[in-house]
Amino acid sequence: MDLAIEAIQLEKTYPGGVEAVKRIDFHVEAGEVFALLGPNGAGKSTTVGMLTTTIVPTGGTARLAGFDVAAKPLGARAVSSVVFQEPVVDSALTGRQNLELHASLWRVKPHEAKARIEGLAETLGLAEIVGRSVRSYSGGERRRLEIARALLSHPRVLFLDEPTVGLDPRIRAELLDVIAGLRDRSELTVLLTTHYLDEAERLCDRIAIMHRGRIVALDTPEALLAGLGHELVELRVDGSAESALASLRERGVAGEDAFAVGSRLTVPLHDRSSQQTIAAVHELGLARAISAREPTLDDVYLRLTGDSLAEAA
Amino acid sequence: MTSLDIAVLSVRRVRRRSLRPLRTLALRRFRLTASTPRELVVPLLTPIMFALIIAPSLKTALHTGAAYEAFVAIGTVGLLIPLNTMFAGLGVIVDRVSGAQRELLTAPISRGLLVVGNLLVALAITGLQIAVLLAVSVVRGIHFEATAIGAVWFVAAAALFTIGMYGMAEILASRVPRQEEYIARVPAIAILPWFLAGALFPITALPHFLTWVAKFLPLTHALALMRYGLLDDSTGLHAIWGLSDRAAMAALSLAVVAGFALLLIATSIRVFSRSAVR
């Protein structure tokens, strides 16, 4: 198995005792698109910071394409590129100058760099504007420039740290198409951090759900969803959701994987039918609102952490 | 291929590997500086005003000779260098605040090169500004008595002092989170020593205690060396060392300025490399 990223018991405690990442283990195979999913403060960006050598781990080991990030940081940096959460470009320079700067620092030969810049500008729809000052770019154009820049050095590992945060819906959709296109590059391994479920579900082969510095689940999106069955019932209760949940379990309507958060109660159905379950709930007089639907990754996250991902983000 | 050939090729390869990123970083800094021309012009204004307006006025008011104007013209170089290097240090904070530094920190290069790349541009721009200042002084009628060897003393002193002051600017920029706080510290670092270092009058004119303080300032040594080089005037060196051998005093002062440059730039690389990562 050819591993592009390995994190073994990786941890980061900031001065003052804030434990941002708590001994996490994961690996990403070459060519895989992998997501770290979780709300702000879950430890995703700190993990990426450690993997990209801008944050010093306080424990554990991490390797990029076999290069230990602590012992061989230059090797690790040479095989990777990052698209940061915030726009990170020199606005006073042109798009081309930004690209040339990256190519030179990553030691792409000048004639190769020229050809790659032309190719990427064309692919990412920047050909018309690459000669302009970045100051005049829209948010989406800047993001595309940053992705072009990150791909210039033909990295083996590409980090996309919350790449769509702060973008308007149209630009975000446009950018997701660009990122989806990266899946065609079989030699490229992508680690994406996000708190958007749809991004993780659409783009990634596997997802690690992070919560308060720990990985609480790691699997393919399908496997994570399969844990909750094909359908679930969600109800809102007036009184205590916990005692309502206990009643439903007692009656055999809810299984051990049913969970309550606030006034919301979620019951995975597995082999039960939604009609039977809804009828049983009505019979008990527990719910003021009830509906059946397919499970989402938010339900997976909610069950594992007790927080809604959308609300926590 | 002999083992010597292989060794030579390896050295060339290593040098090429370091030089290309260094050239790239310096080019980036230069382009960013050139995109805001005020960074080039503003540091020049105060020294030129001193050399061309205040020095002649002082000469008239104090009934001194033409030599005083030349004395002050060199003294203003001692203001120009700290002002310019401190302005250059602002670029480090701008890089950090704008986020551009993060991209550079993930590049497969030694982080010390980021400091050296900035330093090269600070040196080049300071050199250009000193040349402009001296050219304007000559046009204004100020006379310098420069020989080839004297010019070497002058350039060595100016270059080393610039390196040291840029190191100081990098350290401050790495330690101070915001531009406002950085700017607030500039007068204490760039201007205060200038009043004590014999820029406008010999350090022997200071109270005895302050004369001793002045002898420990790198700027005092740099100015004495620059006057020795460009005016063939060793009184500044003599005021520091009290020796009769001019070349020996110049060498000692050069060693002080070189030590200052080496210490500050090495410290700045260390501070930057440590503070840039969390």
Give me the interface pTM, i.e. the ipTM.
0.82
Chain A touched by B22 (CB under 8 Å)? no
Number of domains in chain A: 2
Q: How far is B103 from chain A (nearest CA, A)?
A: 7
A209 and A64 assigned to the same domain: yes
Classify residue A73: in a domain, yes or no: yes
Question: What letter would DSSP give residue A253?
Answer: S
Classify residue A170: in a domain, yes or no: yes
Mutate to test the interface with A, among B35, B106, B275 (most CBs of A within 10 A): B106
A178 and A250 assigned to the same domain: no
A214 and A252 assigned to the same domain: no
Q: Do B28 and A86 touch (CB under 8 A)?
A: no
Of A203, A224, A245, the residue that ends a domain is A224
CA pair distance A175, A144, nearest whole angstrom: 7
A46 and A148 assigned to the same domain: yes
A77 and A143 assigned to the same domain: yes
Q: Do B107 and A77 touch (CB under 8 A)?
A: yes
Chain A residue with minimum CA distance to B98: A88
For A267, phi then psi, to 5°, come to -120, 105
CA pair distance B160, B226, nearest whole angstrom: 11
CA proximity to A242, closest of A214, A256, A262: A262
A56 and A200 assigned to the same domain: yes
A124 and A235 assigned to the same domain: no
Q: pLDDT digits over B105-147, tens only?
A: 999 999 999 999 999 999 999 998 899 888 888 887 888 888 9
Beta bridge partners of A206: A34
Classify residue A171: in a domain, yes or no: yes
- Residues A39 and A84: beta-carbon distance below 8 Å: no
Does pLDDT of A186 surpass 60?
yes
Radius of gyration of chain B (CA): 20
Which amino acid type is present at position B142? I
Alpha-helix residue ranges (DSSP H) falling in A85-194: 95-105, 110-123, 139-152, 169-182
Classify residue A63: in a domain, yes or no: yes
A170: its two tokens: 């149209």
Q: Do A77 and B102 touch (CB under 8 A)?
A: no
Task: Give the confidence band of B10 by pLDDT, cuts at 50, 70, 90.
Answer: low
CA pair distance A185, A28, nearest whole angstrom: 16
Overall pTM surpassing 0.95 (yes/no): no
Q: Long-range contacts: A272-279, Cβ < 8 Å, 24+?
A: A274/A231, A274/A233, A277/A233, A277/A253, A278/A233
Classify residue A9: in a domain, yes or no: yes
Strands (E), B25-182: none
Q: pLDDT digits over A37-96, tens only?
A: 988 889 999 999 999 999 999 999 999 999 999 999 999 999 999 998 887 888 889 999
Nearest to B35 among A54, A82, A92 (CB): A92
Does pLDDT of A184 surpass 90?
no
A113 and A177 assigned to the same domain: yes
CA pair distance B196, B207, nearest whole angstrom: 10
Mean pLDDT for chain B? 88
Size of interface A-B (CB pairs under 8 A): 76
A92 and A15 assigned to the same domain: yes
Task: Give the confidence band of A106 by pLDDT, cuts at 50, 70, 90.
Answer: very high
A206 and A255 assigned to the same domain: no
Chain B touched by A49 (CB under 8 Å)? yes
Does pLDDT of A313 surpass 60?
no
pLDDT at A246: 86
Task: Give the confidence band of B223 by pLDDT, cuts at 50, 70, 90.
Answer: very high
Q: Long-range contacts: B203-210, Cβ < 8 Å, 24+?
A: B203/B236, B203/B239, B203/B240, B204/B239
Q: How far is A56 from chain B (nearest CA, A)?
A: 6
Classify residue A299: in a domain, yes or no: no
A186 and A249 assigned to the same domain: no
Residue entry with tokens 């003294």: B75
Of A184, A200, A224, the residue that ends a domain is A224
Classify residue A307: in a domain, yes or no: no
A186 and A236 assigned to the same domain: no
B220: its two tokens: 């005092």
CA pair distance A48, A165, nearest whole angstrom: 16
CA proximity to A166, closest of A142, A182, A183, A149: A142
Which amino acid type is present at position A118? E
- Give the CATH number for residue A255: 3.30.70.790
Chain B touched by A91 (CB under 8 Å)? yes
Q: pLDDT digits over A17-29, tens only?
A: 999 999 999 999 9
Buried/exposed code over A63-73 (b: 16+ C-beta within 10 A; e: otherwise): bbbebebeeeb
Chain A touched by B99 (CB under 8 Å)? yes
Which domain range does residue A267 map to? 230-294
